[in-house]
Structures are given as structure tokens and as C-alpha cells.
Structure 1
């Protein structure tokens, strides 16, 4: 009994050390110019059996389960922070890339794999479908703090958030064709429309129910609201998956609905999920690093095969998919070139490459090693040069402006009152006006102003200046009126 307790304590200590090391790694990744996701994988490989031999892990079922759970958390966080007004203009292009773009990429990689690796057509199509989609975890993590032109960034985020279901559908379909002779093309076509249609419908319904529930329930602690919101993400995935539909599409759709609704405790919900998504990424990539055996992976045949597939994917398949599917879009050649280069591969292909293992597909271990090398190459080469490419192509956006936040104070949590944090920009009409000249709605009061890192106690004669941060106490019923007053800009004059 004592030995079991000691082993449990040692395991908990090890997990704590891994988390600390992984979080510190994110600090150094920026200085090194290497995406933190690669370093997370490196941490897993370091403590694995071929490294320091601290942890031995080869359970494909657990790796897949952890990967799916992490993807749900990451997609939910990405959807919460995606503004509908920004992705709406690029949605047709994003959906085209999420469906037809994945098909084109799959087909080109399949042809290359057939002749370069000497595998069958179905195996080539399976490999192509596994690496066919860009990865939400990689794209959200790499682009989060990058100053890239707005519509390009929105396009990449919308595509990566919506193309995972297509890649998963193709992967499972080709596994079925390989392992079951009776699987027909007609049934697969019906399965596609069922999975996407039901996934979208369930996401919309659960998202609407989730946003209404969050706003109407009166919980004793504000810390419960983020957990309550996250519960709808897992509900969306599990309910939809049990209906043999796309759970990942349902999660992202539900997150879009919830994130673009008027939410109580929005700031707490978003901040919690942001931190939890980081933890999910860390755990997922460390686990995937543990699942890899470097001594087996870094053999010449895997290195050469992985390099060949990576070259085709990065320099042929992805660019052709972008240029063919966005032929009549609003994007110019420089923007298409950047979209081609920013098609990062990450955790999703690695998680999908575990599916053939669980299905007993012959040569699945070889396929996993090739996919892992492809992901490593994509993240290292493409992920570390995103900023450089955007600068060279002249696609850097305007300086990021902080969005308005709602600071939920525990002491007023049950009074339907919120503290709004608002950053004044050069476009705001209220610049140069005194507080007594600003017509605020009833039940709204500016309590404090932060200017040049100093706090100012406002009065009627206080003049609003650019870059001021306003803290405004407002009742929830007057919040929308306040937003309209604050967001009037000089363009509307």
C-alpha cells in the first residue's frame, strides 16, 4: 500500500515538473523562433524510453483519447475567440478550403506516396487524408500573437477550425475501405452528408442552448461559469459522435455560437478556456512525444520518406489546393502564397495516424512514423517562418487593439452589474470630449481611467484621450446601449 502511494506521489511530481518545463519552454520558443508545439514534443521525447527513460508509453488507445479530448478543448477555445463579423466575409473561401482543399491535398499526396513510397492506392489515399487538413492547435498557437493582415488571419483560423471533420471523415472512410470489402462509395457519400449536416445542426442547437443556459443560470460562484461552458463543448462532441456524425464540427460550431452571443461572465469564461487550451496542447504534444520512439523514427528510410512527403505537401499539394480553390476569390497572389505557406500540420494528423493502428491496418506503424516526421517538418519549417513570410509579402496588419472586456467582480456577481474595461482608440468619437458631454445610458458610471500607467479619478470635466482605458460600471440591461455609445467612431460622422 505504501509503495503504491509513493508511486502515485512520484507520478504527480513528474507531471508537475513536465508542466513547469513545458510552460517555461513557451517563453524560450519565441526567442529561439521555434513554435512551442515542437518543443512540447521534444519534452515528451526527452523523458520517453529512448531519451532519459523516465516514462515508457506505447498505449495507442490512451494517446488517441487524450488527443481527442485536447482537440475538443482547443477547438472550443478557438471558436469562443473567433468573431463572426471577421470570419463571415471569408467563410465561403474557408469552407471551400476545408472540403475541396482537403480533397485536392489528399489526392496529390496519395499520387506522390503511391509512386515514391511504393504503397497501394488506398494506403496512399489514407496517408493523404491523414495529412490533408491544417491543424487548429498549431494555427491558433502560432498565429495568436502574430501581427498578420486581418482577413488572412481570419481565413486561416476559420479553415483550420472547420477542416478537421473532413480529414477525419476521409481517414475513417479509407480505413473502412481497406479493412472491409463491403464498404461502398454510395454509403460513404451518404455518410459524408450525414456527418457534416448533423454535426452542424447539433453544434448550432447545443451552442444556442449553452449561451441561454449560461446567461440564465445563477451560480453561487463565478468560477463555475467557465466549467459550465466547457461542459457544452464536451456535450456537443459526445452527443454528435454517438449519432455517428462529426463531433469536432459540432464543437467548433457550438463555440462560435456561444462566443458570439452576449454572455455573462464572458471574460472569465474566455480566460479560463485560454489557459485550459494551453494545458491541453501541452499535455497532448508531450503525450504524442512520449508515444514516439526516436531510435525507430530517425532511421534513414523514415527520414527520406518523411522528407519526400513533406516536400510534396508543402511545396506542391498545399499551394495547388489554395490556388485551385481560391481561383476566383478576393485574394491576390501574395495572399495566396502566404495562405499556401501557412497551412501548418500539427496534432490532428498525428492523432489521425493512430486510427489505423487501432484498426489493425497493415503498415500503420510505418505510416505513423512518416506522418510524425511530416508534422515535425511542417511545424519547424513553416511555423518558424510565418512572421518572416508575412513581412516579406507585405501582409502585416495594423497593431492589435485590445478588445473590450467585462470584469466580473465577485462582490457584485448577483446584482446583474458588470465592470467594463474599454480601450479608447484613435477612431473613437468620444476622444476630446468631457465626461459631462458624453451621454451614457442609465445605470452606467465611469469609475476610473488609466492614463500613462496612472489611475485618474474622473469627474465631469475630465477629457477623454486616445489610449485611455475606461472602467465603467453598468447594469447588464444597459450594456448594449453603452457599447453603441462607446463604439461610435469618426467614420460615422
Structure 2
């Protein structure tokens, strides 16, 4: 009994230390120019049996479960933060990259794998399928706050959020073909269209139900709304998976629907998901780092063969797939070059590489180690140079401002009013006008203005300035009207 309690306490202590170390290393990731996910993996590898031997972990099934759960949370957060007005303009290139691009990448990497490694053609194409898609966690993390051109950032985020289903389908299809002597290829092909179509529809439906439920149900505590939103992400994935549809596509679709709806407690939901996503990224990459054994990974054979395949992926397969996928769309050569370079690999390929580990495929451990090395190479080489390339190609825009992200809605108890915090920037039309000149909805009250860290008591002649934080009390039924005013409509009062 005492020994079990001691073991439990030691586990909690070790978990706390791993989380603290992982959070602290994010501070150094930007200084070192290395994506934080690489450092999370390094923490896991150091804590593993080939490092300081704190934890022995080789449970591929558990790693897959944790990885899938983390991907649900990451995709949900990415979808919530996605502006449909922006992403709608890039649906064609994103879909093309997410389907045709993944297929071409998988094919070319598969051919290279067969030529470099002594495996069968089916195993080679299995590896190509595993690394065929870009990774949402890596792309979202690396692009965040980099001020990349809106069209390019939206394309990359939409691609990474929607191309995982194609990679999952190809991976499972090749595993089935390898294991079954006479697979039904028509059934396999038909399942692709079912997975994509059903996943999309389920995501739309549950997303709409979720947004309506969040707004209609008056919960006792504001802290319950983020949990309520997360529950719809898990519900979306589980229903889709049970219906053999694409759960990841459904989650991303549902998140876009919910994120682009008028939500009560929007700020609380977004901030909770941001923190929870960071936690799941840390847990996922640390677990994946624990799963790999450096003594097996960093052998001369794995390093050399993995490097050559990674080279083909980064400098041949991804660029060819990008240029072909975008050949009939309005992207210039600089933009195509950047999109091809920003196709980061991350958690998804490693999670998919655990699928063969759970089967009796002959070279499953070899494939896992090669995939792991490819991911490390891609993240280190591409992830650390994305900003530099964007600056070199002059694809970095002005500092971004998104009213949806800067608008914090804090519900006051169970009353029918909300307190809105709004940050004014130089592009807002209310900038430079006095409060009495602005046509705020009836019953709206400006409680306070924070200017340069000081509180300004508002009155009719107070002039709005760039950088001001406005704290506005408004009834819920007038929230949309207020948002129109703040979003540059009906600015001046009719006086």
C-alpha cells in the first residue's frame, strides 16, 4: 500500500517536472530558432530509458490513443481560430493540396523509399503515405504570430487541417492491402469518398448544434462553457469514427462552424482551448519522444537512409506536389516555393507510424524509426527557416489585427449584459472620433478607457485614440449591433 502511494507520488512529481521543463523550453525555442515541438520531443527522449532512464515507455497503442486525443484538441483549437471569410478564398488550393498533393507526395516518397531501403513496394508506399500530409500542430505553431501573407497562411492552415484524412486513409489502405491477400480495391476506393463526405457533413451538423447549444444553455459557471465546447469536439470525432468517417476532418469542420458563430463566452472558450492545446502538444510530443529509443534511431543506417528520404521529401516530393496541385490556380512562383517549404511534418506522421507497430508487418519498427527521423529533419530544417524565407521572398505583411481575437466578451453572472473589451488600432474607423460622435447602440455604456497604462474616465468629448482599450457594457441583444459599429459600420451618430 505504502509502496503504491510512493509510486503514485513519484509519478505526479515526474509529470510536474516534465511539464515545467517543457513549458520553460518554449522560451528558448524562438531564441534558438528551433520549433518548440522538437524540444518537447527531446525532453521525452532524455527522460526515456535511453536518456536518464526516468521512464520506460514502449506502449505504441497508448501513444496512439494519446496522440489522437491531442490531435482532436489541436485541430479544434485551430478551427476555432480560423476566419471563414479568409479561408473561403483558399478552399480550392487547400483541397487540391490536401488530396492531390498528399497523393503525389506519398507516391514520390514511396518510390524513393523503395530505392533507398530494402523493403517491399507496399511497405515503401506505406511509409510514403505516413509522411504524405503536413502537420496541423507544427504548422499552426510555427506560423502563429509571424505575419505571413494572409492568403498563404490561410492556405497552409486549411491544408494542414484538412489533409490528415487523406494520409490516414492511404496509411490504413496500404496496411489492409499488405495484410489481406486479396483486398477489394473498389471497396477501399469507395471508403475514401465516404470518409471525406460523411466526415464533412457530420462536422457541419454537430458544429451547428454545438454553437446553438453554447448560446442557448445558461450554465451556472462561465468556466463550464469551454468544457462544453470541448465536449462537442470529442463527440464529433467519436461519432465520425464509429461511422467509419473521417473524425479529424469532422472535428476541424465543426470547429470552423463554431468559431465563426456568435458565441457567448467566446473569449473564455478561445483562451481555455489555447492553453489546453499547448498542454496536449507538450504531452503528445513528450510521449512520442519517450516512445522512440535514441540508441535505435541514431544508428548510421537510420540516419543516412532517413536523411536521404527526408531530402527527397523536402526538396523533391513536396515541391513537385505543390507546383502540380497549384498549377491552375493564382499563385506565383514565390508563393508556391514558400508553400512547398512550409509543408512541415510533425505529430501526425509519428502517430500514423504507430499503426504498423500494432500489426505484424515485417519492417514495422524500421518504418517507425525512419518516419521519426524524417519528422525531426523536416521540423529542424524547414521549421527553423520559414520566417527567414518569408522575409527573403517578401511575403511578410504588416502587423495583423483581428477584431475577433481582440474582442473579449465576459458575461456578468446570469444577467443579460456583457462587458466587452476592445483594442483600438490605427485601422479602426472609430479612431480619432469622440464618444458622442460614435453611434453606439442604445443602452451601451463605456465604463472605462485604458490609455498608456492609465485609466481615462470617459465622457462625451473623450476622443478615441490608437492603442486605447475600451471597456463597454452592452446588452446581449445589442451585441451584434455593437460589433457592427466596432467593425466600421454605422460609425457616426446622426446628429
Which TM-score band (shorter chain)? over 0.9
SS at match of 2:450: strand
Give the drift of 1:409.
4.1
Matches within 5 A, 1:249-260: 249-260=249-260
Q: Provide closer, same or farther for how the CA distance between residues 386 and 63 of structure 1 changes in structure 2, counting only shifts above 3 A.
A: same
Matches within 5 A, 1:204-243: 204-243=204-243
SS at match of 2:418: strand
1:82 is aligned to 2:82: yes
Give the drift of 1:362.
1.1
SS at match of 1:168: helix
Matches within 5 A, 1:192-203: 192-203=192-203
RMSD: 1.5
The answer to which of 422-431 and 36-45 deviates more is 422-431
The residue aligned with 1:69 is: 69
Give the drift of 1:452.
1.9
CA contact (8 A) 1:427 1:491 kept: no
The residue aligned with 1:126 is: 126
SS at match of 1:90: helix
The residue aligned with 1:39 is: 39
CA contact (8 A) 1:424 1:466 kept: yes
1:95 is aligned to 2:98: no
1:11 is aligned to 2:23: no
Matches within 5 A, 1:399-438: 399-404=399-404, 405-409=406-410, 412-438=412-438
The residue aligned with 2:112 is: 112
1:453 is aligned to 2:442: no
The residue aligned with 2:270 is: 270
1:56 is aligned to 2:50: no
CA contact (8 A) 2:105 2:321 kept: yes
The answer to which of 445-454 and 152-161 deviates more is 445-454
C-alpha distance in 2, partners of 1:281/1:167? 20
The residue aligned with 1:326 is: 326
1:244 is aligned to 2:244: yes
Q: Once the two structures are superposed, what CA deviation does each residue of 1:434-485 show, in whole Å capped at 9, x if it has no partner?
A: 1111111112111111222222110001011222221111111111111111
C-alpha distance in 2, partners of 1:443/1:153? 39
Aligned length: 491
The residue aligned with 1:485 is: 485
The residue aligned with 1:439 is: 439
The residue aligned with 1:463 is: 463
Give the drift of 1:489.
7.1
C-alpha distance in 2, partners of 1:408/1:426? 22
Q: Once the two structures are superposed, what CA deviation does each residue of 1:388-413 show, in whole Å capped at 9, x if it has no partner?
A: 00000000111122534454546x23
C-alpha distance in 2, partners of 1:80/1:239? 20
The answer to which of 66-75 and 175-184 deviates more is 175-184
C-alpha distance in 1, partners of 2:187/2:50? 43
Unpaired runs of 5+ residues, structure 1, are: none
C-alpha distance in 1, partners of 2:288/2:216? 40
Matches within 5 A, 1:382-393: 382-393=382-393
The answer to which of 424-433 and 231-240 deviates more is 424-433
Give the drift of 1:240.
0.6
CA contact (8 A) 2:267 2:410 kept: no
The residue aligned with 1:381 is: 381
1:30 is aligned to 2:58: no
The answer to which of 111-120 and 320-329 deviates more is 111-120
SS at match of 1:77: helix
C-alpha distance in 1, partners of 2:251/2:207? 8
Unpaired runs of 5+ residues, structure 2, are: none
TM-score normalized by structure 1? 0.97
The answer to which of 414-423 and 304-313 deviates more is 414-423
CA contact (8 A) 2:77 2:273 kept: yes
Q: Once the two structures are superposed, what CA deviation does each residue of 1:294-338 show, in whole Å capped at 9, x if it has no partner?
A: 011100110111001100000000000110010121111101100
CA contact (8 A) 1:202 1:240 kept: yes
C-alpha distance in 1, partners of 2:443/2:379? 50
Q: Once the two structures are superposed, what CA deviation does each residue of 1:232-271 show, in whole Å capped at 9, x if it has no partner?
A: 0000001110111111111101101100110000000010
Q: Once the two structures are superposed, what CA deviation does each residue of 1:76-104 show, in whole Å capped at 9, x if it has no partner?
A: 00000001011110111101100010001
SS at match of 1:174: helix
C-alpha distance in 2, partners of 1:328/1:77? 31
CA contact (8 A) 1:423 1:467 kept: yes
The answer to which of 201-210 and 468-477 deviates more is 468-477
